[in-house]
């Protein structure tokens, strides 16, 4: 019954989208500046039906309707209710439905919010957006239908992967999708703008807040994904440069470059080419990321199960999308010549875009290069963290300095009066770095440079904030975001320098000592839970310097459906540092392998990202108030 309802709703949405495309194009021929009411009505119906469709699937998960293949493959009657619900989008088919909802709702919202813009522009945006919707609906209906049925109906489901039963992972897809799926709307708007030769200023005005919203949510989505990886995956890291992580980072670079370009355009009417290209590029990168992750072409710890037909469909969709946008861009974009003074804020934002493109190309190249070597030379190589760290980090050093100086440079032309103050800030940063080395320990040259330039950015922004208090013309969002970014890099750097990691094979009752810590495996017990059995180790960590003791209890969990073994890390999150402990058994032995890590400042890394995003939301709030 649910399956019939779901399929009916999906099919209805296909027809509604086609209806919108048809009637929108028709209304262009009509005189009159307004979009006919019927289109609003169809759009409202469209959004309503897709939401109901989504809840139909959720209902299927809640009641454990195993006639639906997706529910059967990804759920189980013993799963806690919360995870039954969030399991709806924790799989390929369900998450595609989430894609379509966001595409549809954004289409509706754009229609409603842009009432003051001319008909042609709005119509074409609607049309392109609905072509995207139809494309995805076809994909769902013909290849990845969450409402496909199974017969005979199984009694029990195959269960959701236990690592996916986590609150952070539950909100990770919705946040991320509002980010990069949301970027579809300014992709469509950019195409419409090219088709209708729309006024550049009005176009920028129409997409400004959409870009900001998608950037904020994309950042939050990436943050939550990292938090999940840290707490759930058991290796103590939060970023592995895994293809799936890279796929979410690529649109982020484009979005960041985009909204900085929007700032330039608003102030000076320049960089329109950047604006249009980045609007198109962001969503193209989003779909490329989806392709890389879901087609099975890459090997990753996060991949959904793969299926070549899936890959072919998405590749086709991607090709058509990219081809039409490149074609339109070449055909319709008119070049404008302008002059730019090198000593101006515009230049610094150009530099920002230049750096963003560098990061983008590096991450993109690293992610897809193994595909190229495999196809062209049949040699398989791996590109992992060492590559990205080596290439990107040195560049970040300079980038942070640019972030500090750029915002304070004047528009159009700068008179370099504050060169002296920069020098003082630089000396201050070097002194603080020196203090860290002196009090604690020394570290590599690269890390030295990172710490120095991070402090340069932080101190610059702080002084900037203090100075602006007198002017009362504070650009809070920028100061908060830039300073927080500086803090982010600083905390990541310090975390890297001061982390301790130790690996031991230990037996019950044994004690190991190192530096000023000692670990003892005090106890081991086996407990049964609702849908798993756990071997819980009780380890006592003693800090021999201050005699503080902590008990951490890592687990080895044995799940039944499907039969999986997971290792739950025991993490003690503290103000200044986290203790991180994982335990695993060694086959055919009574020894257990214990990995102990001390990770300083972890919580501050998360807080820094939240503050960077906060700056974005603040700016959004200011924009709204301004209107």
Window 418 to 457, contacts with another protein (CB under 8 A): 420, 423, 426-427, 430-431, 433-434, 437-438, 441-445, 448
**Which of these, 109, 136, 141, lies nearest to 287 by C-alpha position?**
136
Beta bridge partners of 536: 525, 555
Q: Would you count residue 504 as binding another protein (CB under 8 A)?
A: no
Q: Which of 55, 138, 205, 369 binds another protein (CB under 8 A)?
A: 369
Strand order in the sheet with 592-600: 500-506, 592-600, 577-585, 570-573
**Interface residue with another protein, options 49, 351, 393, 463 (CB under 8 A):** 351
354 is an interface residue for another protein by CB under 8 A: yes
Select 75 or 352, whichever has its Cβ closest to another protein.
352
Q: How many CB atoms lie within 10 A of CB 151?
A: 6
Judged by CB under 8 A, the stretch of 102-110, 133-141, 160-168, 360-368 that binds another protein is 360-368
What span, in angstroms and rounded, lies between the C-alpha atoms of 345 and 478? Answer: 14
Q: Is 567 in the site for another protein (CB under 8 A)?
A: yes
Question: Mask 574-603, x = binds another protein (CB under 8 A)?
Answer: ----------xxxxx----x----------
Nearer to another protein, 196 or 352 (CB): 352
330: contact with another protein by CB under 8 A:
yes
Measured between alpha carbons, how far is 122 from 324 in angstroms, rounded to an integer? Answer: 19
Nearest to 367 by CA among 291, 439, 437: 291
Phi, psi (degrees; rounded to nearest 5) at 581:
-135, 130
Per the CB < 8 A criterion, the answer to whether 140 and 10 are in contact is yes
For another protein, the binding residue among 12, 23, 143, 322 (CB under 8 A) is 322
The residue among 252, 221, 224, 220 whose CA lies nearest residue 611 is 220
Of these, 340, 393, 558, 620, which contacts another protein (CB under 8 A)? 340
Residue nearer to another protein on the CB measure, 259 or 304: 304
The span of 18-26, 82-90, 247-255, 308-316 binding another protein (CB under 8 A) equals 308-316
Rounded to a whole number of angstroms, the minimum distance from the CB of residue 76 to another protein is 22
* C-beta closer to another protein: residue 118 or 308: 308
User: Quick one: which segment of 109-117, 257-265, 306-314, 478-486 binds another protein (CB under 8 A)?
Assistant: 306-314
Smallest separation (angstroms) from another protein to the CB of 207? 24
Q: Tell the smallest beta-carbon distance from residue 240 to another protein (Å).
A: 8
- Contact between 305 and another protein by CB under 8 A: the answer reads no
193 with 276: CB under 8 angstroms? yes
Site string for another protein, 217-236 (x = CB under 8 A): ----------------xxx-
Q: Prior bond to 555 cis, omega within 30?
A: no
Which residues, numbered 241-260, are part of the site for another protein (CB under 8 A)?
242-243
Count of CB atoms within 10 A of residue 330's CB?
Answer: 9
Which of 334/473 has CB closer to another protein? Answer: 334
- Contact segment (CB under 8 A) with another protein among 210-218, 368-376, 475-483, 487-495 equals 368-376
Question: To the nearest whole angstrom, how small is the minimum distance from the Cβ of residue 258 to another protein?
Answer: 17
Residue 45 preceded by cis peptide, ω within 30 = no
DSSP 336: -
Q: Which stretch binds another protein (CB under 8 A): 111-119, 128-136, 305-313, 609-617?
A: 305-313
Instruction: Scan residues 370-389 and list those touching another protein (CB under 8 A).
Output: 371-377, 379-387
* Phi, psi dihedral angles at 531 (to 5 degrees): -125, 20
361 touches another protein (CB under 8 A): yes
By rule CB under 8 A, what string of x and - marks binding of each residue 258-297 to another protein? ---------------------------------x---xxx
Helix axes 602-626, 200-232, angle to 10 degrees: 160
For position 315 contacting another protein by CB under 8 A, the verdict is yes
Cα–Cα distances (Å) from 5 to 98, 136, 423, in that order, read 17, 19, 68
Residue 256 in tokens:
């960041």
Calpha distance 202→327 (Å, rounded): 23
Choose, by CB under 8 A, the member of 28, 395, 551, 610 that binds another protein: 395
Report how many residues bind another protein under the rule CB under 8 A: 84
Tokens 């459906």 belong to which residue?
561
Stretch that binds another protein, among 42-50, 84-92, 349-357, 609-617 (CB under 8 A): 349-357
Shortest distance, CB of residue 478 to another protein, whole angstroms?
A: 23
| 394-to-407, 425, 605 alpha-carbon distances in Å | 22, 20, 20
Tell me how far CA of residue 579 lies from CA of 236, 517, 599, in angstroms.
Answer: 10, 12, 6
Kindly give, in sequence order, each residue whose CB lies less than 8 Å from that of residue 355, ignoring residues fewer than 6 positions away: 395, 399, 402
Cβ closer to another protein: 315 or 611? Answer: 315
């Amino acid at each position: 019954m649910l399956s019939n309802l779901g399929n009916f709703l999906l099919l209805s949405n296909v027809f509604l989208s086609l209806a919108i495309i048809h009637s929108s194009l028709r209304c262009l021929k009509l005189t009159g500046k307004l979009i006919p009411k019927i289109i609003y009505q169809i759009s409202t119906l469209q959004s309503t039906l897709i939401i109901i469709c989504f809840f139909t699937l959720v209902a299927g998960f809640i009641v454990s309707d195993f006639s639906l293949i997706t529910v059967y493959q990804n759920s189980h009657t013993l799963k806690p209710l919360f995870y039954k619900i969030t399991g709806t989008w924790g799989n390929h088919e369900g998450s595609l439905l989430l894609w379509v909802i966001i595409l549809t709702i954004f289409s509706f919202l754009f229609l409603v919010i842009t009432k003051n813009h001319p008909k042609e522009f709005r119509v074409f945006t609607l049309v392109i957006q609905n072509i995207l919707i139809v494309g995805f609906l076809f994909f769902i209906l013909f290849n990845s239908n969450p409402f496909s049925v199974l017969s005979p109906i199984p009694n029990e489901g195959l269960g959701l992967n236990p690592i996916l039963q986590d609150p952070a992972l539950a909100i990770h897809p919705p946040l991320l999708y509002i980010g990069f799926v949301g970027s579809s709307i300014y992709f469509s708007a950019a195409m419409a703008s090219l088709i209708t030769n729309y006024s550049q200023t009005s176009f920028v005005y129409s997409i400004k807040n959409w870009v900001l919203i998608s950037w904020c949510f994309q950042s939050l989505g990436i943050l939550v994904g990292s938090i999940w990886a840290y707490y759930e995956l058991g290796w103590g890291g939060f970023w592995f440069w895994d293809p799936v992580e890279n796929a979410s980072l690529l649109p982020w670079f484009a979005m960041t470059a985009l909204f900085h370009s929007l700032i330039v355009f608003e102030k000076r009417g320049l960089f329109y080419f950047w604006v249009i290209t980045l609007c198109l590029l962001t969503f193209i990168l989003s779909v490329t990321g989806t392709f890389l992750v879901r087609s099975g072409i890459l090997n990753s710890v996060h991949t959904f199960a793969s299926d070549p037909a899936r890959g072919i469909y998405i590749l086709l969709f991607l090709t058509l999308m990219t081809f039409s946008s490149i074609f339109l861009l070449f055909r319709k974009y008119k070049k404008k010549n302008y002059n730019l003074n090198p000593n101006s804020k515009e230049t610094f934002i150009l530099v920002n875009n230049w750096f963003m493109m560098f990061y983008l190309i590096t991450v993109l190249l690293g992610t897809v290069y193994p595909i190229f070597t495999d196809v062209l030379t049949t040699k398989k190589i791996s590109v992992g963290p060492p590559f990205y760290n080596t290439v990107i980090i040195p560049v970040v050093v300079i980038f942070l300095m640019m972030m500090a100086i750029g915002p304070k440079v004047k528009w159009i032309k700068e008179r370099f009066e504050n060169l002296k103050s920069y020098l003082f800030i630089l000396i201050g940063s070097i002194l603080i770095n020196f203090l860290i080395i002196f009090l604690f320990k020394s570290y590599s040259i690269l890390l030295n440079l990172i710490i120095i330039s991070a402090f340069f950015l932080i101190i610059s922004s702080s002084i900037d904030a203090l100075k602006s208090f007198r002017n009362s013309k504070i650009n809070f969002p920028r100061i908060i975001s830039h300073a927080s970014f500086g803090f982010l890099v600083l905390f990541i750097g310090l975390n890297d320098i001061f982390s301790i990691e130790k690996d031991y094979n230990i037996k019950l009752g044994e004690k190991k000592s190192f530096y000023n810590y000692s670990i003892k495996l005090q106890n081991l017990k086996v407990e049964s839970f609702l849908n798993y059995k756990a071997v819980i180790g009780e380890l006592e960590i003693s800090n021999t310097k201050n005699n503080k003791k902590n008990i951490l209890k890592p687990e080895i969990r044995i799940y039944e459906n499907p039969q999986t073994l997971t290792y739950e890390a025991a993490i003690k999150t503290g103000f200044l540092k986290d203790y991180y402990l994982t335990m695993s058994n060694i086959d055919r032995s009574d020894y257990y392998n214990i990995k102990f890590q001390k990770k300083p400042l972890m919580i501050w890394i998360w807080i820094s990202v939240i503050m960077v995003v906060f700056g974005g939301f603040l700016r959004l709030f200011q924009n709204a108030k301004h209107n």
